[in-house]
Amino acid sequence: MRIATWNVNSITARLPRLLAWLESTGTDVLCVQETKCTAEQFPADELRELGYESAVNATGRWNGVALISRVGLEDVVTGLPGDPGYEGVHEPRAISATCGPARVWSVYVPNGREVDHPHYAYKLQWFEALKAAVAGDAGGSRPFAVMGDYNVAPTDDDVWDISLFDGATHVTPAERAALAELRETGLSDVVPRPLKYDHPFTYWDYRQLGFPKNRGMRIDLVYGNEPFAKAVKDSYVDREERKGKGASDHAPVVVDLDV
């Protein structure tokens, strides 16, 4: 079973690449973030023609998550139980479902913007709600994973130059502590570092030649419980999909399971 996560940065803009990527990689389940569309605009018909079902949590031009599966899509939960909301709005940042033998979440953690911004406090509150929501499945006997754009680099080695991030979000002790507390529910990072290269970044800014200069961050993560982690046979960041015209600023993260 091949499962992946990908922040597509607009599924409408990325649709031709997405469809081609699904066909060429034989991915069974894809967790998507930043759909940037309404549920009605989501390309369910095009995906169905390839043999994929889809479940969507999307409301418009910002945020949005989805699950795309060709091995089943059952017991869908849209949204994050206990979501604290931001300025009175529950943003579309989480969706979960059972896909074949595994239970999977697709999450798009709030960015945080700046440390002294209300969105940063919201980010930490959102992490608390996520931890509470997944704790039961994380300790269970069924393969279970929380996958997506976490907007946190777990260690200093997960950014291209930590000295440039002084006082910035994505690397603060509080954000990393929130990740650690999430792992303490029974989850672990199942994509080891290093992989086939020294810095398996997953995101590179479009500006200032971020990708050609490899000025990236590893913020797209796959956190699985023990049964999930034991089933992992291979994993990689698909850097090739970040290349060329019309690419997302994130690369897919792919995990192969023996289940």
Annotated binding-site residues for Mg(2+) read 7, 34, 149, 151, 249-250
State phi, psi for 220 to the nearest 5 degrees: -95, 115
What three-state secondary structure class fits 98?
strand
Active-site entry in 108, 122, 203, 223: 108
Under a CB-based contact definition with an 8 Å cutoff, are residues 236 and 192 in contact? no
Strands 53-57 and 2-7 come out as unpaired
Whether 116 is catalytic is no
Whether 149 is catalytic is yes
**Measured on CA atoms in the order 155, 81, 230, 7, is the torsion positive or negative?**
negative
**Measured on CA atoms in the order 19, 20, 21, 25, is the torsion positive or negative?**
positive
Whether 223 is catalytic is no
Q: Which residues are annotated as a binding site?
A: 7, 34, 149, 151, 249-250
Active-site entry in 149, 158, 170, 203: 149
For residue 26, is it left (φ>0), alpha (ψ between -120 and 50) or beta? left
Active-site entry in 170, 203, 223, 250: 250
**Using CA atoms, how far apart are residues 72 and 98, in angstroms rounded to an integer?**
7
| Active site members | 108, 149, 250
